[in-house]
Structure 1
Amino acid sequence: MNTMLFFRKQMFIVSVLALLLTPACRRELLDQAPDEQISDATAFDTPDRIEKLRFGLYDALKAPSMYGSRFMVYSDIRGEEFLNEGMQTGNGLQVWNHSLDAFFPEVTEVWTAGYAIINGCNIFIDGIQKNKAVLHNDQLAIQYEAEAKFIRGLTYYCLLTLYARPYPDGNGAKPGLILRLLPEPGSSNKNQSRTTVAAVYDQILEDLDFARDNLPLNRGNDYGNTTLAHRNTAIALKTRVLLTMGRYQDLITEASTIVSATAPFVATGQGVPNALQDDILRVFSSPYTTLENIFSLPNTAADPLYLQRAAASYYNPPPNGLGDYSLNPNGILMDAAFAATDDRRQFVFDNPENNKPYLIKYPTGTPHTDYVPVIRYAEVLLNLSEAHARTAGLSQRAVDLLNAVRGRSNPAGVYALSDFASADALIAAILKERRIELMGEGFRSNDCTRLLLPIPGKGNIATIQPNDTRYIWPIPSNELDTNDFCEQNPGY
C-alpha cells in the first residue's frame, strides 16, 4: 500500500470532512458537532458543506506538525536563540542539535502534514471548479479557490525552507519539492520527481498572485481580517517569498501597494488598513485581532492548539508549559541592540526556579489559546526595509522603515542614516532587528539559509556551514519508500 498517499487522503477526508468541520475561523460555528456522515462523494453537494470544507483548510494549518507549533518551533530552534533543556527525544532535540535523518519523526511528520494540507487544497480547488454552480455565485467560487491557493502557496513555501537548498544556491536550479497540483484520492500518481526550487517558487508566486487578485479587500470585521485571507494577506506573504528568493526590486513593487510612502506607515487604499500597533504587547494579547495581525490562526478554549504540542508548551516554563527551550543568554539577549528598556524585553521571563530566561510571547497555559501569528505588519516593514537597503544602499526609506519597528518598542534606540558607515552596516542592523522583533515566530533559520549564511552554533552545538549536509533536511524515508522517482538530498 502507498502509505503516504493513503495518509494524505485519510487526513483530508476524515479530518477535514469530519473533525475539521468544526471550523476555527467562524465563531458561531466553533461549538457545532461535526458532520460525521459526510463522505467525499457528497462533500460539495451544498453551499454549507463547501463552506465548512473551506474553513477546514484554515484549521488544517493548525496541524501540530505545521503552524500548530512544530514547523514554527523547528524553524527557530535550528538557530542560536534557544537552548534545549530536557535533552529528550520528542521535544525537537534532533532538530536543535542538527542530528536528523530521513526516518526521524520530525522529518516525516512535517512533510506528511504539509502534503496532506496541499492535497486538501487540491481536492478543494478541483471540487470548487467542478461544483461552482452549487454556490450560485461565480465570484464566491473564485474567492474560495483563491483562499485554497493562498493556503497551498504558504504550505509549499514552508516545506521549501526546510527540505530544499536555498534559492540563491544555483538560482533555483537545485532539486526542490514534488509539485503536486492535482487531487490524489489514491496511489495512482505516487511516482513523481522533484521539480527545481525555481519551479516550486514559480508555483507559489502563481498561487499568491491568484489569491491577491481574487481575495476580498476586507472581511468586514477585525476577527475576519485577522483569521481569513484577504488581499493584503496574499501581498504580505508574497513579500516574504520574494525576500527569500532575493528578488528585492519585485518585493519593493509588491510591498508598496500596502505600505505608505511616509511614516506612520499604513496600508492605504480600499483594503484593510494594516499598520503597526503602538504597543507590541497588544499584538500578543487577547483578542489578538489588531491591524498589525495580518494573518493569525485563532484558538479558543473550545478549539485550542494541540495542548503539549503548542509553541507555548515548548517555550514557557512550568506551569504554563514544559520549558523544553530556554533562551540562549549568549544570543540576541546579550546584544547591545536589544536594550534593557526595550518593551520586547517583557517577552523574556527570568525563571527563578532555574535562573534561566524563557520566551513568554505565548503565555497562556493549557488549553493554549494564544493565536498563532503567521504574518504581521512588522515583518512586512522589515522585509521592505531590507529590500531598499539591498537595492539602494544607504537608503533613508530603509532606515525609516527599520525605525518604525524598532522605535515602537525602543524609542531611544532609533537610528539616523549617518549612524551607518555602509549599506552592509545598515543591512546588519535590519537583520539584527528581525532577530529581536520576530523571535519565536519561526523566522531565524530561514533568515540564515536564504542568505547562504552559516546557522550559528549554540552551547556545545557547532555552527552549520552552508555546504554542510545538515544545512537542509533530508527527504523523509516514507516518501522515498513509496515514490520511485523521488531523489534524496545529497549526504543523507
Structure 2
Amino acid sequence: MRKIYLILIAAMVISSCSDTDALSPVNQTRISDATAFATPDRVLQEVLGMYSGVKTGQFYGGRYFNYQDIRGEEFNNDRANGVTNLFTWNFGLQSSTNEVNNLWYAGYLAINRCNVVINGLEGAPIADALKAQYKAEATFLRALSYYSLVTLYARPYWDGNGSKPGLPLRLKAETSSGNSNLVRSSVAEVYAQIIADLDFAEANLSLTNGTAYDNTTRAHRNTAIALKTRVYLSMNKYDKVILEANKIVSAAAPFTAASGVRNMLAPAIASVFATPAVTSENMLSFAFSPTDIPGTQNSLVSYYSPTAGTGEYSLLPTGIISNVGWKATDARRALNVVNTGKTYLNKWTKSTGDPDYVAVIRYAEILLNLSESIVRDNKTIDARAIQLLNAVRGRSDATTVFTAASFATFEDLLSQIAIERRIELLGEGFRSPDVMRLGQNFVAKGGAPAVTTVDAQYVWPIPQNELLYNKLCVPNDGY
C-alpha cells in the first residue's frame, strides 16, 4: 500500500449498487481508463461504483459504524479479538494499528473514486443535466467520506473554532504516483469543503430518483440537505441546522418533507431495518446481497448478533439499556435480544453471507437534530422541539408524551433529547460523534479507561502509512 489513496479506478472491478446490473451487453467489469467514460452505460457504472467504494466492509459496510459506537459507553467487548476493533473499544490505538490505517485507506480510496468520476464526467457523452446530477452524487459521497474521517482523525470543531489540523484535502483525481505530499488542511477548511460539496449536491441532485429502491440507495436532494444537518450539528452551528432541516421538515406534526421525496418517519421502527429497508424514513441506505457482502468480520450483523454473527459486542448493563424511561413496552426494546445472559443489539439479523441493508441517514435523526438545535439556539423549553422529540418517541412508545411541564429547564429538555438519540440511533454510528461535538469525556466502561478531551486517545492518530509517504503530513501529537 505504498500510496494508499491512489488507484486506477478504471482498472478496478466495478460493482453496481442497483438491482439492475445488466445495463449493457458489453463486459463492464474491467475497462481501461481510456474508455471508462466512453458510453452512457459505462458512465453510469462508474457512478454506481462510487457507492460500492463507500460501502466496503472497511468503511460504510460496517466497520465505520462500529468504530464510532464502541468508543462510547453502550457496548462491551466480549471476545477480546484484536481483529474486530478491540483497540478502538479500549482506547489503545497507535498509528500502526490496523483499524487506524484501514479506515483511512478505505476513506481516501472512496474519495478518489469520486474525484475520478468528477474528472471523467467532463468529456462524457451525456447531457449536461445528467453530468450535473452525477457530479452531485460524487460530491455528496465525497462529503460523506470526508465528514466520516474528520470526526475521528481530527480535533472537534469547537476546539479552536476549527483551527486545529484536519485532513489532507485531496480534490483531484489521482491515477498515478508522485503526488503523495500534501499538508493537512485545518478542521475548518475540511468542513468548509464538505459544506461546499453538499451545497452543490443539493442544487444538482434529482428531486426524486423515481423508485423507492433508488430513493433509498442513491442520493437525492433531500439526502444532501439531511447530511448538512448532521455536519452543522458537529460544528455547533445550530442556526444552520435549523435552516437546513426546515427545508425537509414541516412546521408541525406529522412531520414530512414537503417537496422532493416525501420523507417521513416509517410507521414502525422495525421496518427501517427489515430488508428490503426502502421506507420513506431511509434517506440513504447501502444494500447488500449474497454476491455483494462487506465481509464476515466487517458487517454489523457479525459484530452485534450472537446468532447470525459472532456477537463481538453485547450491550453494557450500565449503558442506555438501563435507562428507566426506556419502557419495556417500547418497540425499540424488541430490537434487542438476550442470549446466554447478555443483551445484544438485534437491528441486523440476516446472515453474514446475505447481510441486511445498512442505514446511513434516517429521517428520525433529522427530527432529533432539529429538536436539539432549536433548544440550543434559543435556550428555551421550545414547543416545536418537544413535538419533534415526541414524534420519535411516540412512534415506538405511545404511552410517553412529553410536555413543557416535563422539563424544569431547557437543559433538562436537552438531556432528554440526548437520551432519545442514544435509544433511537443505538448502533448506527452516532455515539462517539455526539460525545465529541459536545466536548464531553468518554466514560470508563468494562475494562476500558475513561478518556478526557485532552487525552491523546480522544482522537485517532494519523496512520503510520500516511506519515511515511506524505512528508508534509504531521501527526496528532500535541493537538
**TM-score normalised over the length of structure 2:** 0.97
Assess if the C-alpha contact under 8 Å between 1:23 and 1:29 holds in 2: no
What CA RMSD, in Å, does the superposition of the two structures yield over aligned residues?
1.6
- Partner deviation per Cα, 1:29-55 (whole Å, 9 max, x = no partner): 499996344111221111111110000
Distance 2:464 2:26 in 1: 37
Q: Does 1:482 align with 2:461?
A: no
Cα gap change, 1:44/1:31 in structure 2, threshold over 3 Å: closer, same or farther? closer
- Partner deviation per Cα, 1:267-294 (whole Å, 9 max, x = no partner): 002x000000111011111220000000
| Aligned counterpart, 2:121 | 128
Q: Does 1:463 align with 2:450?
A: yes
Q: Letter of the 1:72 partner, please give it.
A: F
Assess if the C-alpha contact under 8 Å between 1:310 and 1:368 holds in 2: no
Distance 1:339 1:30 in 2: 49
Distance 1:302 1:475 in 2: 33
**Between Structure 1 and Structure 2, how many residues are aligned?**
478
| Aligned counterpart, 2:81 | 88
Q: Does 1:38 align with 2:24?
A: no
Assess if the C-alpha contact under 8 Å between 2:11 and 2:33 holds in 1: no
Q: Letter of the 2:365 partner, please give it.
A: E
Distance 1:106 1:299 in 2: 22
Distance 1:199 1:106 in 2: 25
Cα distance, 1:26 vs structure 2: 3.6
- Partner deviation per Cα, 1:134-185 (whole Å, 9 max, x = no partner): 11x1100010000000000000000000000000111100000000101111
Distance 1:250 1:14 in 2: 41
Assess if the C-alpha contact under 8 Å between 1:208 and 1:234 holds in 2: yes
Distance 1:91 1:32 in 2: 40
Q: Secondary structure at the match of 1:153?
A: helix
Q: Secondary structure at the match of 1:295?
A: strand
| Aligned counterpart, 1:329 | 317
Distance 2:448 2:293 in 1: 34
| Aligned counterpart, 1:3 | 2
Assess if the C-alpha contact under 8 Å between 2:285 and 2:358 holds in 1: yes
Q: Secondary structure at the match of 1:27?
A: coil
Distance 1:331 1:89 in 2: 23
| Aligned counterpart, 1:415 | 402
Cα distance, 1:315 vs structure 2: 0.4
Distance 1:299 1:341 in 2: 31
Cα gap change, 1:39/1:279 in structure 2, threshold over 3 Å: closer, same or farther? same
Q: Does 1:218 align with 2:208?
A: yes
- Partner deviation per Cα, 1:97-117 (whole Å, 9 max, x = no partner): 000000111000000110011
**TM-score normalised over the length of structure 1:** 0.95
Map 1:250-269; keep pairs closer than 5 Å: 250-269=240-259
Assess if the C-alpha contact under 8 Å between 1:307 and 1:368 holds in 2: no
Give aligned-pair identity as a percent: 47
Q: Secondary structure at the match of 1:374?
A: strand
Q: Does 1:201 align with 2:191?
A: yes
Assess if the C-alpha contact under 8 Å between 1:102 and 1:476 holds in 2: yes
Q: Does 1:346 align with 2:334?
A: yes
| Aligned counterpart, 1:61 | 54
Distance 1:334 1:119 in 2: 43
Q: Secondary structure at the match of 2:285?
A: strand
Distance 1:34 1:290 in 2: 33
| Aligned counterpart, 2:350 | 364
Assess if the C-alpha contact under 8 Å between 2:84 and 2:297 holds in 1: no
Contiguous gaps of at least 5 residues in structure 2: none
Contiguous gaps of at least 5 residues in structure 1: none
Distance 2:83 2:35 in 1: 39
Cα distance, 1:423 vs structure 2: 1.0
Distance 1:30 1:255 in 2: 36
Residue of 211, 219, 226 corresponding to 1:229: 219
Q: Secondary structure at the match of 1:73?
A: helix
- Partner deviation per Cα, 1:322-365 (whole Å, 9 max, x = no partner): 111111111000111211111100111000xx210001100111
Cα distance, 1:28 vs structure 2: 4.4
